[in-house]
Amino acid sequence: MPFVKRPFQIEKPMKAFLFIMRQFNFTQGEAQRLVAKGRVIIKGESIYDTGAIIEGEIEVVYFEPKSRGVKPIFVDKNFLVFDKPSGVLVHPNTMATEYSMLDEVRTHSGQNANGTHRIDMETSGLFLASRHKDAERFLKGSFEKKTIQKHYLAWVTGKLTEPFTVEESICVRNDYSTKKHKVEICKDGKKARTDFIPLEYDEELDTTLVECKPYTGRLHQIRIHLFHVKHPIFGDPIYGTSFEASDKYLDMNISEEERYIETGATRLLLHAHALHFPYGNNYSIFTKVDFTEAKKEICGKEERKFYT
């Protein structure tokens, strides 16, 4: 598990952050942040005062990355790009999270490396990470300024033949009693725009491969926009399936077989396939994954319970 608790014996009184700096080779800021998060424990109680004096037996909880062998597909002195597998978080949700892309980022580039944006756990594809704090500030700022373009691929239900644009505002839902959608289309929501370009149609499975170009970065934007035009993404357990299936999925109580026939695929068939951004040079980075092969994950029409 990446977060570990380790005991230490402090022979002489010293400031907590200074001990962390020396023991873990952290900067002063990093050490103080760790203490402020309550990660230094004395007699079972966390301390939060970064200037606290410690002595005797203590415990420290810290992140120790454990790689599963996912290597970056592009390495620069300032940043890394990974092809994130579906089903992997980009960052730990809690200290009990067993694995996330942060394990790979810090295994490769150390304590100061960090992810710079979010991708849904089930979405696969390009994940951009910084290698140092200056790069983290620059890249996160670039996402906020929308100077980083992200393009996606999705296998969607039904036949699409012409490019189209969805410009529907999105707001967060508060009522999950009738459907489990986290967001919905609403007039008073935040503005959102996505361009869609059909690339390939499979008649046997009745599915279209679509390139998706979001111009805004709203939560679940591509998923809700495609659902809105009645071409939801195959495998989406929230948008485009039944309330019962969504509820079971969120409760982690749905079998693989039930997920397959209720959502139309084994996983959410959405893939981040390109990143375009300036960082000194102009970068255009593309996935190494052949996402056309993901069509094999789609349930046959005769087996589907919901996608008909």
The domain that holds 45 is classified in CATH as: 3.10.290.10
Q: Which of 145, 177, 196 is the last residue of a domain?
A: 145
Number of domains in the chain: 3
Q: Do residue 134 and residue 160 come from a single domain?
A: no
Asked if 23 and 39 touch (Cβ cutoff 8 Å), the reply is no
For residue 183, is it within any domain?
A: yes
Asked if 21 and 54 touch (Cβ cutoff 8 Å), the reply is no
Q: Which of 123, 145, 167 is the last residue of a domain?
A: 145
Q: Do residue 47 and residue 128 come from a single domain?
A: no
For residue 123, is it within any domain?
A: yes
Strand stretches in 64-168, DSSP E: 74-75, 79-84, 114-115, 124-130, 149-157, 164-166
Asked if 294 and 271 touch (Cβ cutoff 8 Å), the reply is yes
The DSSP output letter for 232 is P
Q: Do residue 200 and residue 271 come from a single domain?
A: yes
What burial letters (b/e) apply to 45-72, b meaning 16+ CB within 10 Å? eebeebeeebeeebebbbbebeeeebeb
Q: Do residue 269 and residue 233 come from a single domain?
A: yes
Distance (Å, whole) CA 233 – CA 239: 8
Nearest Cα to Cα of residue 216 among 140, 127, 146: 146
The DSSP output letter for 132 is S
What are the pLDDT tens digits along the chain (308 aa)? 578 889 999 999 999 999 999 998 888 988 999 999 999 999 999 999 988 999 999 999 988 899 999 999 999 999 999 999 999 999 998 878 899 999 999 999 988 899 999 999 999 999 999 999 999 999 999 999 999 999 999 999 999 999 999 999 999 998 888 889 999 999 999 999 999 999 999 999 999 999 999 999 899 999 999 999 999 999 999 998 999 999 999 999 999 999 999 999 999 999 999 999 999 999 999 999 999 999 999 999 888 887 65
Q: Which of 63, 90, 113 is the last residue of a domain?
A: 63
Q: Do residue 256 and residue 156 come from a single domain?
A: yes
Asked if 41 and 59 touch (Cβ cutoff 8 Å), the reply is yes
Distance (Å, whole) CA 234 – CA 240: 8
Burial class, 201, CB count within 10 angstroms (exposed 0-12 / middle 13-18 / buried 19+):
middle
Instruction: Give the range of the structural domain holding residue 102, as residue numbers without chain letter.
Output: 74-145
Q: Do residue 53 and residue 166 come from a single domain?
A: no
Q: Do residue 138 and residue 266 come from a single domain?
A: no
Q: Do residue 57 and residue 103 come from a single domain?
A: no
For residue 243, is it within any domain?
A: yes
What integer pLDDT is reported at residue 26 of this predicted model?
85
